[in-house]
A and B are shown apart, each in its own frame.
Chain A
Amino acid sequence: MTDLLDPPVQLPPVPPAHEAIEEHGHDAHHGPTGILKWLTTTDHKVIGLSYTVTSVIMLVIGGAFAEIIRAQLSTPNGSLVSFAQYNELFTMHGSVMIYLFAGPFAFGALANIMVPIQIGAPDMAFPRLNALSYWLYLTGSITLLSGFFTAGGAANFGWVAYAPLSNSINTPGAGADLWIGGLLLTGFSAIFTGVNLVATIFYLRAPGMTMFRMPIFTWNMLVTAILILLAFPVLTAGLVMLYCDRHFGTHIFSVQGGGVPVLWQHIFWFWGHPEVYILALPFFGMATEIIAVFSRKPVFGYKGMVFATLSIAALSLGVWAHHMFTTGVVLLPFFSIMSLLIAVPTGIKIFNWIGTMWRGEIWFSTAMLMAIGFLVTFLIGGLTGIYLASPPLDFFTHDTYFVVAHFHSVVMALVLAGMGGLYYWGPKITGYLLNERIGKLQFWFLFIGSQVFTFPLYILGLEGMPRRVAVYPHDPQWKFLNDLSTFGAVLIGVSTILFVVNVAVSWKRYPAGDNPWDAQTLEWFTTSPPPHHNFYRLPQIRSERPTWDFHHPEHRSVGHGAHPDEHHEVPAS
C-alpha cells in the first residue's frame, strides 16, 4: 500500500547527443533550429501540434465553403454560384471536412500528442513514420485543394464519388484525379498513424500500466487504429480501381465493359462506415476523460466502456450497405439489424457518461460544457440515425436534407467534443490555459448554433428537399427554413472566430502548472509542457488513475487488475 507514496523513480537518462555538426542551420548541441527543425522533427508533440494547426485551418476552409453553400440556398433560384461551381463546393466541403479536418484532428492531432504520455511512453513507437504521416497529410491536403486551380475546377461528384459519375466520360479533368491523388496520400498517412498507434499501445506502456489500466481515450485510440488498418486499405484499393477505370481503360465500374457501378459503392462504404467511427471514437474518448475529471469521479463502468467500444468497432464492419438501401440490390434485413444493433453499445456509452456525472461534483469549465454539449447533441443525432437503419424509413429520407441533418448533428457533436479536448489538453501541451470567459461564450455560440443549424434541415428533408441541389424553384416556402439554418451556420462561424480570438488573447498569458484541473490520468503527472521524452519521473501505476491515486491516496480507485497481495479498500466517503 505504501508503494504509491514511494518516491517516483528517475527515468533512464536520454542517450548522449552526437558530436556537434558544423553546418549552417544546426545548433552545435541542440540539433537544427528554425524551419529545418520543423522539417526534421520526429517528436510526437511537435507533429501533433502541426496536425492540430493544419486541421483547424482545414476546418476554416471547409467552413468557408459551407457558408457559401448556405448563401446560395438563401434564395429559391439564386445564382450566387453556377451549377458547376455549386457541385464543386459541396464536394470539396465534404471532402475537406472529412478527409482533411475530422480524420487528421481525431487521430493525428490530439491522439499523437496524448497517447504516448497517457501510457508513460517516451514517444511513439516509430517517430520517423509519425513524421512521414504528417508530411503525407500536408501534401495530400495541398493536392486535394489544388483542384480549384485547374481548368475544369475541383472534383464535383460529391465526396463519395459514385461511379459512373466519377468516370472519365462524366468527369474528365484533373480536378477529379487530384481528388483521387489527395485521398491516396491522406489514406496512407492514416494507415501509418494506425500502425504507430497500435505498436505504441502494445509495446511502450510504462511498468504497471496493464491494458485495463489505460485511460479510456487510449483504449478508444487503439480501437480507432485497428479500424483504420481494417478500413483504409479498402479505400486505397477502390481509389486505384477508379483511377484505372479513368485512365487505363479498365471497366471495373462501367456497365459497357461488363463492370458493376454498384461495386464502387460496396468498396467505398466498406471503408466509409468504419470511417465515421474512426472519426467518432477519438472524440468519445476525449469526452470520457473530460466528464470524469470535471465530475471528480472515476469513469463509470470502465470495462463496459471498453466492451462497448470494441462492439462498435466490430459491428461497424458489417453495416456499410445501410448507405445503399435505395440501390435495390443489397440484403436489406441483414444491414438493418446490424445497424440497429450499433445503437446498443452507443447507448451503453451514453449511460456510462451520465453515470460518471451522477453524484459527482461537477465543475462547469469550458471543457466540461463542451462535453455536455457533445452528449446532448450526439443523443439527438444518434436517435435520428436509428430511423435511417430501417429501410422503409430510409427510402424516403435518403438523399434528402434529413440525412444531411443527421450527420451534421453527429459531426457538430464531435466538434463540440474536439473543442473540449483542446480546452482540456491545451494547457498540458502548451503550458498555458485558455481564457474561460471567451471559452464559455464560444460554447454557447457553438451549441446553440449547432441546434439552430440542424433542426430546420430535418424538417426540410421531411418536406422533400433533396440534397446536393443548388436551387429549389418549385418550393419557395422552403426559404424560411433555409435561412434559419443559415443563421445557425453563422453562429457556428462566430464560435470558430471566438476560438481563434481566444488563442490570440490567451497567448502565453495564463501559466497552467502541471495539473490545473486536478485530473486523473498519467499525462497530468508530468510538467506542462512535457519535457523531451515526456517524463522526468513516473509514479507507481496501480489503477487507471495514477495521478489521482498519487495526489488523493485516500480516494483511490479499487484498481483494475490489482496485485493479489495488495489490499485496497474502497474509501468510505
Chain B
Amino acid sequence: MQTPALPPQGATVRARRWRRLRRAVALPLAALALSGCTVPSFGASAGATSSSKSVYHLWQWFSILAVIIGAFVCLLILYAVLRYRRKGDNIPKQSQYHIPLELAYTIVPILIVFGLFAATLVVENKETANPPTNVTINVNAFQWGWKFTYPGTNAFVYGQTTQDPVMVMPEGENVHFNLTSSDVIHGFYVHDFNFSRYALPGVTNEFTFYADKTGEHFGQCTQLCGLYHGLMFFRVKVVSQSQYAAWIATFNNPADAAAAKAAAKTTYQQTSAIVPAKGSTTKFGR
C-alpha cells in the first residue's frame, strides 16, 4: 500500500500547535468560570483575625499577578523553544537589540513594582498599628517554652516544649501583645493569625490582634533557638469576652497564683514529662 502523501510538515505542525494552545488556555479559563469567580486561595487562608484577612487578600492579589506574569513568560519560553528549533544549518538574522521593546520591559515592571509596594503599605500600616486596648498579654519566650502573663491581673500561663501552654485571649476586641525573650532569639508564630514576630532579648516587640471568631489555634517557635527548638509549641485559645473574664477570675486566689509563679522558671528543666526517656513509645530522639 502506498504511503499517503502528507501535507507540508510546517502547516500540520503549526495547526496542531494552535489547537494545543487553545486547549491549554481554555481549560484554566473554564475552571475559573466554573469556580463561580471566587478568587482562589493560592495556599493561604483568611485566618482568625482582622489583619490576617487583609494579609490573605494581599497574598491573593500578589499570587494572581505572579501566576499571570509567570504563565506569560513561561508561554514565551515554550513558544520560543518549540517554534525556533533548529531545522537546518542556516544562520538566523543576527538581531541584537530593539530599544522600544527593551524600554517597555523596563518601565512596565517598575510600574508593577510600585503598585505592589502601594498595596503592601496599606496592609502593613494596618498590621503594625497599635491602637489603645483594654487587654494586654506579655509573652516571654525562653529556651524552650513560653510564659504568658496578663498585666493588671493575676493570670499566668507557663509551659515547656510539649506541655503546650495555652494563651487565652478574648474575641471581638483589640488585644495588645508585648513580646520578649529571656535568652536567645525565638519566633512567635501563629499560623492562623498569618503572623510571626521575633522575641528578642532586651527588646519588647509590640503588636495588636483583633480576633473575630472563637477557636483554638496552634503556635510554634520559628527561629532556631537551640536543642529543642522544634518542640517549642504553644496554643492560642480565643474565647468570648465573658468566658475570658471568667478565666481571669480563676487566678484570683493569690496563694495559687504565687505558687504557680514560683514553680515556673524561665530556664529549661529536664524532666521526663517534657522529653520522653529513651525507650518510650513517643520517639523524640536522644
Provided the pairs A348-B102, A391-B120 are in contact, do residues A302 and B93 lie with their beta carbons within 8 angstroms? Answer: no
List CB contacts (< 8 Å) of A70-113 with chain B: 77-79, 81-84, 86-87
B229→A469 contact, CB < 8 A: yes
CA distance A375 to B218 in the complex (A): 38
- Further 13 A-B residue pairs, CB within 8 A, beyond A383-B66, A386-B62: A162-B185, A164-B185, A261-B201, A328-B198, A332-B124, A333-B121, A355-B101, A357-B81, A386-B66, A459-B43, A464-B189, A473-B282, A573-B93
| Cα–Cα distance between A372 and B123 once the two chains are bound (Å) | 37
11 contacts between A and B (CB under 8 A): A82-B285, A302-B97, A303-B97, A354-B76, A364-B85, A390-B124, A395-B55, A470-B230, A473-B282, A473-B284, A571-B94
Cβ-based interface call for B225 (8 A) = yes
Q: Is B214 on the interface with A (CB-CB < 8 A)?
A: no
- List the count of A-B residue pairs having beta carbons below 8 Å apart: 275
A261 touches B202 (CB 8 A): yes
Minimal Cβ-Cβ distance residue in A for B111: A344
Q: Do A262 and B94 form a contact, CB below 8 Å, given A165-B185, A301-B102?
A: no
Say how far B85's CB is from chain A's closest CB, in angstroms.
6
For B90, the closest partner residue in chain A by CB is: A361
B-side contacts of A384, CB under 8 Å: 66
| Interface of chain B residues 180 through 206 with chain A (CB within 8 A) | 183-185, 187, 189, 191, 193-198, 200-203, 205
Q: What's the interface size class on A, roughly?
A: 35 or more
A379 CB, min distance to chain B CBs, angstroms: 6
Q: Pick from A78, A81, A393: contact of B59, CB below 8 A.
A: A393
Establish whether residues A392 and B127, one from each chain, have CB atoms under 8 Å apart when the complex forms: yes
Residues of A within 8 A of B (CB): 77-79, 81-84, 86-87, 157-158, 162-165, 170, 255, 260-262, 295-304, 326-329, 332-333, 336-337, 340-341, 343-344, 347-348, 350-352, 354-355, 357-364, 372, 375-376, 379-380, 383-384, 386-387, 390-393, 395-396, 398-400, 458-459, 462-464, 466-474, 552, 555-558, 570-571, 573
**CB atoms of A261 and B185 under 8 A apart:** yes
Q: A362 contacts B86, CB within 8 Å?
A: yes
In chain B between 83 and 108, which residues have their CB closer than 8 angstroms to a CB of chain A? 84-88, 90-98, 101-102, 105-106
Report chain B residues within 8 Å CB of A556: 94
Q: For residue A402, give the distance in angstroms from its CB to the closest CB of chain B.
A: 9
How near does chain A come to B209, taking the closest CB pair, in angstroms?
A: 12
Least distance between B285 CB and chain A CB atoms (Å): 4
Top-8 shortest CB links A-B: A469-B230, A464-B191, A255-B202, A399-B222, A462-B43, A328-B205, A82-B286, A396-B194
Chain A residue, CB-CB nearest to B44: A462
Report if A399-B86 is in contact (Cβ < 8 Å); known contacts: A158-B224, A347-B105: no
Alpha-carbon distance between A525 and B203 when the two chains are bound, in angstroms:
62
Chain B positions 217 through 241: 1 when the CB is less than 8 Å from some CB of chain A, otherwise 0: 0101111111111110100000000
Report the separation of the CA atoms of residues A355 and B97 in the bound assembly, to the nearest whole angstrom: 9
Cβ-based interface call for B258 (8 A): no
B113 near A464: Cβ-Cβ < 8 Å: no
- In the assembled complex, the CB of B180 is this many whole angstroms from the nearest CB of chain A, namely 10
**Segment at the A interface, from B67-75, B132-140, B147-155:** B67-75
CB distance from A4 to the nearest CB of B (A): 15
Query: In the complex, A359→B97 CA distance in Å?
Result: 13
- Is A555 within 8 A of B86, CB to CB? no
B202 x A376 contact (CB < 8 A): no
Chain B residues 31-46 with CB under 8 Å of chain A are 43-44
